[in-house]
Amino acid sequence: MIAPDPVPAVSRRRELGLSSARSLLLTVLGEYVRPAGEPVWTGAFVAALGLLGVAEKAARQALARTAAEGWITSSRHGRLARWRLTDAGRQLLTDGAQRIYSFGTGGPAWDGRWLIVLVNAPDLSAQTRHRVRTRLAWAGFGALPGGVWVSPDPSREPEAGRILAEFGLAGAGVSFIASFGGIGAQEEVVSQAWDLREVERRYEEFIGTFAPLEPAADQETLRAQTMLVHEWRRFPFLDPRLPRDLLPPGWLGAEAAELFSARHARWQQGAGRCWARLAAVPTAQR
C-alpha cells in the first residue's frame, strides 16, 4: 500500500493556492495530455487535480489562467468543455519533458576550462536584476561577488550572450574562457557560486519521500507518479549539473536520478490506466 503520508501537501488534502494548482496542472498536461495528443474534458482535470489536493474552484481557475497565458484552448460541447494544448503549449511541454526526463542521466565531461562572464550594470532595477539572475542561474551559471558569473561549460557562452542581449545588456558584458590558476582552490569557487549543500538536501528529501512508496491501486499510482514528476522537474532549476570533478564525495544527485527513472517506469502503466478512466467519459459535472 502507499505510505500514509507520501507527500504531505497532498495527503493532508489542504486546499492549494492558484499558483500551486497551476503548477500541478502543467505537470498533468506534460505527463498525460502531451503524449496522448487528445483533447480532455474539464472534469478529468478537476478529478485528477482533486487527487492531488486541489479544490475544484482552484482547478478551474488554473485552467482559465493557463488558457489566458496561451498554453491551452477550449472548445464547447453543449454545457461541457474540452481542452487541448496550443502549438505553443505543446512546444513548451515538449522542451520541458526533454529536460526533465534526461536530467541527471550521466555527468558532463570536463576539460578543466571555465567560462567567466563579467556584467557591469549597476543601474539596473531590482526587478530586472532578479530576472537576469534567474535566467543565468537557469542556464547553469553561478554568481560570484562583483557581477561575476562562472560556468564550467564554455559552450554556454552564446546562451549567456543571448540572455544579456534580451535585457539590453550586451554592451555591459565581457566573457573569458580560462583554466584555474595556482592561487586558491576551485572548491572555494564552487562553494561561493552554488549552494550545493541545499541542492543535496533537496535530493535527500526527494529520495526519502519516494523511495519507500509502493502504491497499490491505480488511483494511488497516478497520485504518486504525478508528484514524482512534479517534484523532479524542480531540479533543473536547482542543480547546476556540475562536472563530477567539482562535486562533493557521495553526491546524491546520481542516486536521485536513478530513483526517478526507476519509479517513473514502474508507475507509468498504472497511472496511465487511471488517467484514461478519468479522461474517457464526460459527465454532467465535467
pLDDT in tens, 247-260: 988 999 999 999 99
Residues 7/209, Cβ–Cβ less than 8 Å: yes
Distance CA 264, CA 100 (A): 12
Confidence of residue 14 (pLDDT cuts 50, 70, 90): very low
pLDDT for the residue numbered 200: 95
Per-residue pLDDT tens for 196-219? 999 999 999 999 999 999 999 999
**In the predicted model, is pLDDT for residue 90 greater than 90?**
yes
Give percent of the chain above pLDDT 70: 90
| pTM for the full predicted model | 0.81
Distance CA 225, CA 2 (A): 12
Q: Which of 187-191, 265-269, 279-283 shows the highest mean pLDDT?
A: 265-269
pLDDT for the residue numbered 283: 58
For helices 218-232 and 42-51, angle between their N-to-C axes, nearest 10 degrees: 80
**In the predicted model, is pLDDT for residue 107 greater than 60?**
yes
Distance CA 74, CA 210 (A): 35
Give the DSSP H/E element, type plus range, for residue 113. Answer: strand 113-119
pLDDT for the residue numbered 13: 37
Give the DSSP H/E element, type plus range, for residue 95. Answer: helix 87-102
| Average pLDDT over every residue of 13-28 | 75
Give percent of the chain above pLDDT 90: 71
Distance CA 198, CA 200 (A): 5
Distance CA 234, CA 8 (A): 17
pLDDT for the residue numbered 193: 95
Confidence of residue 78 (pLDDT cuts 50, 70, 90): confident
pLDDT for the residue numbered 123: 85
Give the DSSP H/E element, type plus range, for residue 272. Answer: helix 253-280
Domains of the chain: 1-109+198-286 (1.10.10.10), 113-179 (3.30.70.240)
Per-residue pLDDT tens for 130-170? 989 988 988 889 999 989 999 999 999 999 999 999 999 98
Residues 275/139, Cβ–Cβ less than 8 Å: no
**In the predicted model, is pLDDT for residue 7 greater than 80?**
no
Q: Please name every residue paired with 177 in a beta bridge, in sequence order, or none if there are none.
A: 115
pLDDT for the residue numbered 12: 36
Residue 159: which residues within 8 A CB-CB, separation 6 or more? 139
pLDDT for the residue numbered 17: 54
**What residue type is 239 in one-letter code?**
D
Per-residue pLDDT tens for 31-63? 999 999 999 999 999 999 999 999 999 999 999
